[in-house]
Amino acid sequence: MSLHRLLLRSLRRSSSLTAAATSTSQTLIHQQPQPTLVPIRTFAFSSAEEAAAERRRRKRRLRIEPPLHALRRDPSAPRPRPDPNAPRLPDSTSALVGPRLNLHNRVQSLIRAGDLDLASATARQSVFSNTRPTVFTCNAIIAAMYRNKRFDDAIALFQFFFNQSNIVPNIVSYNVLINTHCDAGRVDVGLDIYRHILANAPFSPSPVTYRHLTKGLIDSGRIGEAVDLLREMLNKGHGADSLVYNNLISGFLNLENEAKAIELFDELKERCLVYDGVVNGTFMDWYFTKGREKCAMDSYKSLLDRQFRMTPVTCNALLEVLLKHDKKAEAWALFDQMLDNHTPPNFQAVNSDSFSVMVNECVKLGKFTEAIEVFKKVGKKQGSKPFAMDVAGYNNIIARFCENGLLSEAEQLFGELSTKSLTPDVNIYRTFIEAYFGMERADDALQMFNRFVDSGLRVIVSFANKVFDELVNKGKAGECVPVLTKMGEKDPKPDPTTYEIVIKGLCKERLFDASRDLMGQMVRYNIGVTPSLREFVVEAFGKEGRSEEIERLLEANRPGFGAYWPPSGPPRMAGPPRMAGPPRMAGPPQMAEPPRMAGPPQMAEPPRMAESSRMEEPPQMAGQAST
C-alpha cells in the first residue's frame, strides 16, 4: 500500500472520531444541566517555582545519598593506574581496625604501665611483620618518650618509623617532633621541620605547630621572631589562636612590656568574638605577682562579664591562679558555677582535673573530710548533672590520702572505685603497695600486689623486682612463690632477674623444694638462667647434698640457657645439634652429662670442646642477658 493511501485513511479515521465525540458532547450538554466550572490541574506542581525547588531537592538528596549503582564500581572495568607523582597520605582512623588495632592497644597498655622500652620494642618489631603499626601507634610511643623527657629516644623513633620504615607521618607526628626539639633547646631544628612541612607535606601546619614554635622561640629569647611567626600564621589564612597569642603575651609580660602585651590582647579580641580565658589568667598571674591585685581582679571580672561558656581546661587554669594567690572565695564560686553549668552531653563544664585541683587544696589545708565532700560534690542548679568521676580522679585523691597516711580512707575510696564500672590502673596499685611498705605493712602490700597480678595489668620488670626484693628482705620469700607462679602462667613471662631474687631468698630461708619448683618453671617456660643464679643454686644445693638434682635440672634447661650466649659463628646459631630440642639431647650421642663430658673421647672432639668452653664463659651470658 502506498504512503499517500495510508495518510488518507488515517485522516478519515481521525475526522470521524472527532465528529462522533462532538455530537456526543452536544447531546450530553442538552440533556444535562450545565455544571459549575472547576479548574482542572494538568501539572504535578502548582507553579514552576515549586517544580524547580523539587528538582533541587532531588539533586541534593542524590549528592548526599547516591544510588547504589553509583557506589558500585564495575568489576569488569580496569582499575585506574595510581599516579606515581601523587603524594602519599598518612593513615586515616579507618586503618585502626583488626590486628592493627590490637597492636595499638597492646602498645598503649605498655605505655600506661610505664614500660616504655617494651612498648618501643613491640612497635619497632611490628614494622617487620605482616601487622605494621599505624601512624597513631607510632605517635603514641613517640609522645610517651617526650612526656618522660627522653628526647633522644623520641627523635630516634621518629627517624626509624617515618624515615626508615616508610610510614607516612601526619601533622601530629611533626608537632611532637617540633615540641621535642624546642624543649631540648634546638628551636632552629624545629623551624627547619616547619619549613619542611610547608614545602613537602600534603597538609598545612596546625595551630598547635605555631604554639610549640612560638613558645620555643620565646624561651630562647627570640620573641621578635615569634611575632613574625604569628604574622605568618595569620597571612596563611589560619585563624587567630588564643594560645599562640597567650605565648606572646606571657613573653612580653615577662619582659615588663605591658603595653605590647595589652596591644596583642586587644588585637585578639578584635579578631575573635570568643577567645580562650587562659589569656586573662596570664594577665591575672602577672598582676598578682606585681602586687596589682585590683588590676588582676578587674581582668577576671571582665572575663566573667562576657559570659563565655568556658571549657574545663580554661576554668582549671583560672582556679589554679586564684588559689595560688589566696583568692579562695572566688575560686570556690567559680568551681560551684562550673558544677552548675555541667549538663552533659550538651556541655561539659568540669573534668576530673577540676576536682583534683580543689581536692588538693583541701588536702593542703589538712581538711580531709572536706576533700571527700568536694570529691562527691554536684551542682545545685536545676538541669545540672553530677560528674561521672573517672579513674584519674580516684587516682589523685587516693595518692593524696596515702601520702598523708590515711590508708583506711584511701581503701574505702578504692572499694568504691571497684564497685563502679571502673578498672583500677597501674598507678593506683603502685600507690597502695608503696604506701603499705612505707607503713611497714608487708602483708597488705603482698595482698595488693597479688590483686595487681590478678587484674591482668602489665607488671613491669623494675617494679616487680622492687616488690619482691622488699618482700624477701622482710622474710616472706615463701609467700612470693604463688604470686610469681601466677605471673609465669601469663604472657609475657617474668624476667630471669625476677626469678633470681625470689629463688635466692628461698635458698637463704632453706626452702629448697620451693626454689627447685621455681627453677622447674624456668625450664618449662624456657626462661634462661643467669650466670649468677646458676652459680648460686649449684653452691646452695651442693651444701645440702643435692647437687646432682640441681645439675640435672640445669642440664635440662640448656636450650633456654644457650639463648643467653652471644653469637660467635654460624655453627652455634644455625647448627642442628646445637639448636636441637630435648629429644635430640636425650639421645646417647647428644648427652651432655658431666661424666661423659669429662671422658677422654669427648674431650677429643673439637665441637664438644667448643661447647664446653662456651659453658665456662659467664661474662658472655651476662652480656646477652642484658640485651
Among 482, 501, 496, 566, residue whose Cα is nearest residue 525: 496
In angstroms, the CA 236 to CA 282 distance is 27
**Model confidence pLDDT, tens digit, residues 217-260:** 999 999 999 999 999 999 999 999 999 999 999 999 999 999 99
Partnered with residue 343 across adjacent β-strands are 347
3-class SS letters over 317-335: HHHHHHHHCCCHHHHHHHH
Query: Is residue 533 assigned to a domain?
Result: yes
Instruction: Kindly state whether residue 588 falls inside one of the protein's structural domains.
Output: no
Q: Is 283 inside any structural domain?
A: no
Q: Do 193 and 158 meet the contact criterion of CB atoms below 8 Å apart?
A: no
Give me the pLDDT at residue 188, please: 97
Average pLDDT, the chain: 83
Stronger pLDDT, 565 or 215, i.e. the higher one = 215
374 contacts 362 by C-beta, under 8 angstroms: yes
* Cα 303 off chain centre by: 34
| Per-residue cell: 426 | 597501674
Q: Taking residues 429-444, what's their average pLDDT?
A: 96
- The predicted model gives 191-219 an average pLDDT of 96
Confidence of residue 30 (pLDDT cuts 50, 70, 90): very low
For the whole model, what pTM was predicted?
Answer: 0.74
What pLDDT is stored for residue 560 in this prediction? 45
- pLDDT: is 168 or 9 the higher one? 168
Residue with cell 638462667: 529
pLDDT at 72: 61
Kindly state the percentage of the chain with pLDDT values over 70: 79
- The answer to whether the CB of 379 falls within 8 A of the CB of 340 is yes
Confidence class of residue 555 from pLDDT cuts 50, 70 and 90? confident
Res 7: pLDDT: 56
Total residue count of the chain as it appears in this document: 627
What number is the average pLDDT over the span 535-541?
A: 93
pLDDT at 566 over 80: no
**What integer pLDDT is reported at residue 149 of this predicted model?**
96
Q: Which of 386, 321, 322 is nearest to 352 (CA)?
A: 386
Q: What is the pLDDT of residue 138?
A: 98
Residue 79 or residue 67, greater confidence? 79
Q: Please tell me the predicted confidence (pLDDT) of residue 586.
A: 40
For the ranges 1-10, 12-21, 216-225, 556-565, the maximum mean pLDDT occurs at: 216-225
Query: What pLDDT is stored for residue 56 in this prediction?
Result: 82
* Residue 542 maps to a domain: yes
Q: Cell 597516711: give the residue.
A: 405
Instruction: Identify whether 506 is part of a domain.
Output: yes
Domain extent at residue 498: 478-569+620-627
**pLDDT reported for residue 608:** 40
**In this structure, is residue 114 part of a structural domain?**
no
**Number of structural domains the chain divides into:** 1
Q: Provide the pLDDT confidence category of residue 12 given band limits of 50, 70 and 90.
A: low
Q: What is the mean pLDDT of residues 405-412?
A: 95
Contact 348, 384 (CB under 8 A): no
Rg (CA), the chain: 38
Residues 6+ apart with CB under 8 A from 493: 487, 525, 527
Cα 37 from Cα 46, distance rounded (Å): 19
Mean pLDDT calculated for residue range 183-195:
97
For residue 404, CA distances in Å to 364, 397, 454 come to: 10, 11, 28
Per-residue pLDDT at 58: 80
Alpha helices by DSSP H, 343-441: 352-364, 368-375, 391-403, 407-419, 426-438
- Residue 73, classified by CB atoms within 10 Å of its CB into exposed (0-12), middle (13-18) or buried (19+), is exposed
So what's the pLDDT on residue 85? 80
Query: 315, 354 in Cβ contact below 8 A?
Result: yes
The more confidently predicted of residues 37 and 341 is: 341
Query: What pLDDT does 418 receive?
Result: 83
Residue 597 has pLDDT above 70, yes or no: no
Please, which pLDDT band fits residue 87 given cuts at 50, 70 and 90? confident
**Range in 37-41, 279-283, 385-389, 392-396 with the lowest mean pLDDT:** 37-41
Decide if 613 is inside a domain.
Answer: no
User: At 542, is the pLDDT very low, low, confident or very high (cuts 50, 70, 90)?
Assistant: very high
In the structure grid, which three cell numbers stand for residue 270, read together? 578584635
Residue 541 lies in a domain: yes
